[in-house]
Amino acid sequence: MREFIYEVPPADDGMLLQDYLKCRQGYSRRLIIDLKKSGISVNGEHRRMVDPVRGGDIIRIVLGELDETNLIPNPDLRADILYEDEDVVAFDKPADMSVHPCALYYNDTLGNLFAARYPGLTFRPLYRLDRDTTGICVSAKNTFAASVLMGHLEKTYYAVAEGLLADDEGTVDAPLIRVPGSIITRKVDPAGQRAVTHYKVFFRSNGHTLLALKLETGRTHQIRVHLSYLGHPLAGDTLYGGHDDLIGRQALHCGELFLPALPGRTEMVIRSPLPEDMQKLL
């Protein structure tokens, strides 16, 4: 259960309740629709979403966990927690762990770990990482946090690419499309969706390059395909031309995340150190 209290400032006198929640507090349209059923009062009384609010009004919202979850709790799974509060939890996801269950991995995912640690809460990951990509993975603990934060998290990925990139920084703007006949594999193709990746070189050593990358778009396998497109696939990424003689997975890590402010907490940056297997490549 999570409670939020807002006092309407004089400048917002006359706004519709639904507009105040959406424009001033960041509530999504879906969450506002859900709140129509229950969980909201103004000055202790029921108020319709189309009613105006007045300066000084006290809005009280109570969010309950009404969603059903069918995730199998697995208390034997392990992932360090980098940060946690009433609204979110940031896991340091290890390699060889999917975020969501699927046909092949139904009880050994981050979702199964979440279900064991937080019984009764719905697993709401705010983005996904590939099974063998390590690092920060954030899940909301309630509908409000999911509504406000989804799409507003700024992530920095760290990658070790094969070879020595010539430029110290650059941008790859190359559209991606699914490879015909494959469920997951992507390739650069003019007919695909636009995909933009910004990169900066941190270090060159031992025939490898350590990069920091930020995404303008979030396409499937975007970093992996774009680096392969540059002729420098990720170490260990055999799907896109890398070699697994030095590391047994793609050398990709979500290492830094900007988390916007929520009620009771200021904005912050969460960091996860580069995993040992990626350090050894350098």
Catalytic residues: 130
Bridge-partner residues for 212, per DSSP?
Answer: 158, 200
Q: Which two tokens stand for residue 218?
A: 């979030």
* 192 CB-near residues (< 8 Å, 6+ apart): 175, 176, 177, 186
Bridge-partner residues for 3, per DSSP?
Answer: 62
Task: Return phi, psi of residue 106, to 5°.
Answer: -105, -15
3-class DSSP state of 91: strand
Q: Which two tokens stand for residue 35?
A: 């709140």
Task: Return phi, psi of residue 130, to 5°.
Answer: -60, 160
Beta-carbon count within 10 A of 130 CB? 20
Residue-wise DSSP of 10-44: GGGTT-BHHHIIIIIH---HHHHHHHHHSSEEETT
β 169-173/252-259 pair status: unpaired
The answer to whether 126 and 258 have CB atoms below 8 angstroms apart is no
Which amino acid type is present at position 129?
Answer: L
> 259, 262, 43, 57: which is closest to 156 by C-alpha?
259
Handedness of CA 210, 212, 216, 218 (dihedral sign): positive
> 105, 104, 115, 106: which is closest to 74 by C-alpha?
115
